[in-house]
Structures are given as C-alpha cells and as structure tokens.
A and B are shown apart, each in its own frame.
Chain A
Amino acid sequence: MTKQEALFKYTLRLGDNSLILGHRLSEWSSYAPILEEDLALTNIALDLIGRAQALLKYAAEIESKARTEDDLVFKRAERQFLNVLLLEQPNGDFAMTIARQIFNSAFELLLFEELSKSKDEMLASLATKCLKEVKYHWRHAYDWLQRLGDGTDESHARMQKAINDLWMFTGELFEIDEVETILINDAIVIDTRELHDKWLTKISDAIKTATLTHPAEGYMQTGGRIGIHTENLGFILAEMQYLPRAYPDAKW
C-alpha cells in the first residue's frame, strides 16, 4: 500500500463514520422526545454530514480518479463503506442513541485533538474545525447520560441496557491496520490504541456519575473498517442512494 492509498482509505473511513452517523441522527427529525431535542439532534446531524462532505471531498482529491464526494456517497456498494459498526446501529430508543453518542463523541474528542496536530495540513485543519463541534456533541451526550441514568427507574434501566448492548462495538474504534501504520510513521495520524485508556477513564467516569454500572468486558465485534458490516448498512444505503441509482443521468 502506498502512502497515498493509505491516506485515501484513512480519510474515507473518517468520512464514512461522519456520514453514517449523520444519517442515523437525521432519522430523528420530527421523532424526538421534545422539540428542543429535535433541534439538537438534527443540529449534530448537520455537523456530521457537513464534516462528511469535507472529508469525502478530500478523499476524492487524494484518490485522483475523477470521483466526487457525491460519487463516494451515492455510488459505492455495501462492501466499500468503511465506517465502524457502532455508528450504523439503529437509533433504538433515545437511550440507545445517547449511548452511541457518548461512546463516539468521547472517542472523537480525543482523536480530533490529536489529529489537529497532524502533519497533513488538510486533516489538521478539518480536525481543528470539528473539535469545537465535537465538544458540544460530547456535552450533549454527557448531560443526557446523567439525566437518563439518574432519572427514573425506567430511564435508568433503559440507559443501562443501551450501554451494555452497544459495548461490544466500542473496541473497533481503537483498531489499527496497515493504513494507520503507514500514516503513523509519517506523523499524519497517531496510534489510536494509545487513546484507549483516556477514553475508558472518560467513559467510566461518566457512567459512574450517572449511577450506572460499567458494562461487563466481552468479545468486541469488528469488520466495518474493512467493509464487512452488520445487516443495517444495506438498508441505510438502499434509502440513501436510491435517487442517484434510479436516475443515473439526472443532476439534482
């Protein structure tokens, strides 16, 4: 793998993460528990899809095969998407969405802080810009984790179940393979494994303050980063890609 291929794939993975989570959060539109949350969740979705657009545009530039960011979104198949499994999981109840948000935003907070120092100027500047947004995403998830964890018996039970159910998808966030190894050597990315301890402390503290119990350690699922997804992704793509696929000659 060349450095260019590695950078392409790395950027694609980041872009796909933003895209798929943004898609999921946008599904909340008009379904949120209160109007203020409708605004908050779609606001985060906007941040994420905006970020996906910037990242995928950059990925397409790196690739230099005359594909656009829209080609990458609308014309790739299931096996070519490289987002982590966590982010394609269904919204579930509000607790499930908050669990997904807290795991991911804690990770992104650490990741983008490091990435903002990247030797790759474009990634560094994108990461710097995202950092402000991610701080808000983390705050939003953290506050809800507290409210639900330390709210009613029902909300406590639902929040506990949500973090337990999604726990098996958190390991994948910290995986590295040839892609990262190449870029780590050039100081373009850091070794995400090094973020794990900090992430765990952050999450454990948040769980504890919310009067919840830390999920039991168990087997960690993997596959999204190499394009082997849960069954959820196919449905996301069927919905997302239908118009450009049905009318390939049309411009919108």
Chain B
Amino acid sequence: MNEQKNLEGFEKIINADKKVEPRDWMPEDYRKHLIRQISQHGHSEIIGMQPEGNWITRAPSLRAKLILLAKVQDEAGHGLYLYSATETLGISREELVEQLQTGKAKYSTIFNYPAVTWADMGTIGWLVDGAAIVNQISLQRTSYGPYSRAMIRICKEESFHQRQGYEIMTHMARGTAEQREMAQDALNRWWWPSLMMFGPHDSNSPNTGKAIRWKIKRDSNDDLRQRFIDKTAKQADVIGLTIPDPKLQWNDERGHYDFGEIDWAEFDRVVKGDGPCNKQRIAHHLKAHKDGAWVREAASVYAAKRAKKAA
C-alpha cells in the first residue's frame, strides 16, 4: 500500500521532469542503476588520469605542461565530485574504490588504450573529452538531482579540455612532417575506441529501456554517437586530418554522416578485460592505494587522538 503510494510519488516527479533528490523515495532498481552509472562515470575520471598523468613530466613546453597538469587535476576533481554524488545514494567511497579494484565496477573502455605519443594528449582531449561532453550535455537533464548538477558543473571544464586537445592537434597538424604524422597516427588509433565510448548499439543495450523510462538516460547510445561523429568529422576536416573510416560520408538525406561498422568484438574484448592496458590501469590504482595505506591509517589515528584530546 505504502509502496504503491511511494512509487506514484516517484513517478510523478519523473513525469513532471523534476529532479529526484537523495531524501526522496526511489525504487531500488533506480538506486542501483544510478550507483552503477555514476560510479562508473567517477571511476572513468579517476582511471583517465593515468594515460594523461603519464605525460605531464614530458610535456614539450611550460604552457603545455601547465594545461595538462591542470586538466588531470580537473579530472581528479570530477572523480571526487561524482563519488560524492554516488555517496548520496547510500554507498561509501571505500566500497566504491573496492568495486573498482575488484573489477565489480567498470570504467570507460577508452582508458584501456595506451597514450604512446604526445599527440595522444591532443586526441584524448579532442576525442575523448569531446565524446564525454556529448554524453554529459545529455545527462545534464538526467532525473537524479545530484548527478544532474555534477554534469552541469563538470561540462564547463570538459569543454576547455576538448578545445585544448584540439589545439594540440591543430599545432601538430600544421607543424613539421613528423608532427603531422604523429597527429594522424594518434587519430587513427583513438578514433574507433572513442566511438565505442557511447556503448553498444541501442538494439544491444540491456540497460537502456528502464534508464530511458526513468529519465536517467535522456538520449540513446546511437543518437549520442551520431551527434559526436557529426561534430568531430567537420573538425578533422578543418585541420586536414583524415578520420580512419573509408565509409565516413555526409548523407544529405539523413542530415548526418554515415559511417562504417564498429568492431564490436574488440569492444567486448576490452570490456571483458583484454584491452592493452586493463591490467596495468588496475595494478597502478592498487599500487597507489596500497602504498598509501599507512598514510590513511596515520591520518585516521591522528584524527582520533585529536578528538579524544578535545573531548
């Protein structure tokens, strides 16, 4: 009886396009779906620090170094912010980190690819942050209040990242022959994995139905992917780089770019743990976590001592 009333109240919020807040009643499935999605998003920010953090000490100018350092720091901030949003759903940061480390929670497959040259700092900003923005703009309208607000705040920074990445690519595409080659090579390597960031085809996406009905997701995977391709294809043209897809072509009738088939076998393989860096990323996270255990312990013991003294 009560349950029925609760559900009606919840659906009323959803149907009125209002935000669900932490204090509101919500179906258990809604909560679970959100925990999975927001934490996965948070973990992606955190793991995403690795491929870029790896280049801070090698950035080729002071300006580039400052921009990259600030960017990686932004991502840490995004991770923190998203973890806090997840915590409003009744799960602790420790549990979230454990889920990441044990493989129970996922992060974006894109970060299982290696950042091998400086041009990758360009493509990650341009494509990966670019794809993230398309997704996040859509999620600004998500039904869960804390998640929606996180997206609004994060999006502003992501668009800086996207522009900075594109700027690196522009410099390199217009630079020496070696730089051009490096830029094109990075685009070749990152293009397809960045399309995979939007997830499986709609026909193949088990979580989409409920998520759309509850307005957690506002657009489908394929719609978002198309939006990203339309935007990015033009940007590649402007700086004279070639997107590695012979089927990519403007379709006047559809008003969109047509594009080739994504290698879903590769996607599945990387999701399941056999990407080039899956093991490295988690091992890195575990090492930092393990190496820092004594520091965290000292901090909590010290805090307890202080509290005792104050009492």
Contacts and interface: CB of A to CB of B under 8 A. Distances in A.
B291 A151 contact: no
Contacts of B295: 33-34, 37, 94, 148, 155
A174 interface: no
B176 A249 contact: yes
A169 to B, nearest CB: 21
A69 B46 CA distance: 32
Interface string B290-311: 0111111111011101000000
Interface string A10-34: 0000000000000100110111111
B27 to A, nearest CB: 30
A123 interface: no
Contacts of A150: 302, 305
Contacts of A244: 60-61
B76 A151 contact: no
Interface stretch (B48-56, B201-209, B211-219): B48-56
Tell me whether chain A's interface is mostly helix, strand or loop, or mixed.
Answer: helix
A26 B57 contact: yes
Interface stretch (B5-13, B16-24, B62-70, B127-135): B62-70
Contacts of B72: 29-30, 42
Contacts of A148: 295, 298, 302
Given A35-B76, A42-B72, A240-B58, A252 B299 contact: no
A43 interface: yes
A147 B298 contact: yes
Contacts of B178: 247, 250
Interface in A234-250: 236, 239-240, 242-244, 247, 249-250
Given A26-B56, A29-B56, A94-B295, A46 B79 contact: no
A93 B171 contact: no
Scoring A23, A154, A236 by chain B CB atoms within 10 A of each residue's CB, the highest score goes to A154
B60 A152 contact: no
Interface string A212-228: 00000000000000000
A92 to B, nearest CB: 11
A251 B76 CA distance: 29
A171 interface: no
A70 interface: yes
A141 interface: no
B73 interface: yes
A239 B58 contact: yes
Contacts of B302: 146-148, 150-151
Contacts of A56: 62
Given A34-B292, A155-B297, A155-B298, A243 B118 contact: yes
Contact of A39 (B50, B56, B64, B76): B76
A49 interface: yes
B296 A46 contact: no
B179 interface: yes
Nearest to B73: A42
Contact of B294 (A39, A70, A154): A154
Interface string A45-75: 1100110110010000000000001100110
B175 interface: yes
A43 B69 CA distance: 9
Given A30-B49, A152-B301, A243-B118, A50 B294 contact: no
A33 B300 CA distance: 13
A49 B160 CA distance: 20
B247 interface: no
Scoring A52, A53, A147 by chain B CB atoms within 10 A of each residue's CB, the highest score goes to A147
A35 B61 contact: no
Nearest to A26: B56
Contact of B62 (A38, A69, A250): A69
A31 B7 CA distance: 44
A158 interface: yes
A155 B292 CA distance: 11
Given A49-B62, A70-B62, A244-B60, 19 more contacts: A30-B76, A31-B291, A35-B46, A36-B80, A42-B73, A42-B76, A52-B62, A70-B61, A74-B61, A148-B295, A150-B302, A152-B297, A152-B301, A155-B298, A240-B58, A244-B61, A247-B178, A252-B64, A252-B118
Interface of B: 46, 49-50, 53, 56-66, 69-70, 72-73, 76-77, 79-80, 83, 118, 168, 171-172, 175-176, 178-179, 284, 287-288, 291-299, 301-303, 305
CB-based closest 7 A-B pairs: A33-B292, A151-B298, A155-B298, A243-B60, A33-B295, A29-B53, A252-B60
26 contacts: A26-B57, A29-B53, A29-B72, A29-B73, A30-B53, A30-B284, A31-B287, A31-B291, A33-B292, A33-B295, A49-B66, A49-B69, A50-B66, A53-B63, A56-B62, A94-B295, A148-B295, A148-B302, A151-B298, A155-B295, A155-B301, A239-B58, A240-B57, A250-B175, A251-B171, A252-B64
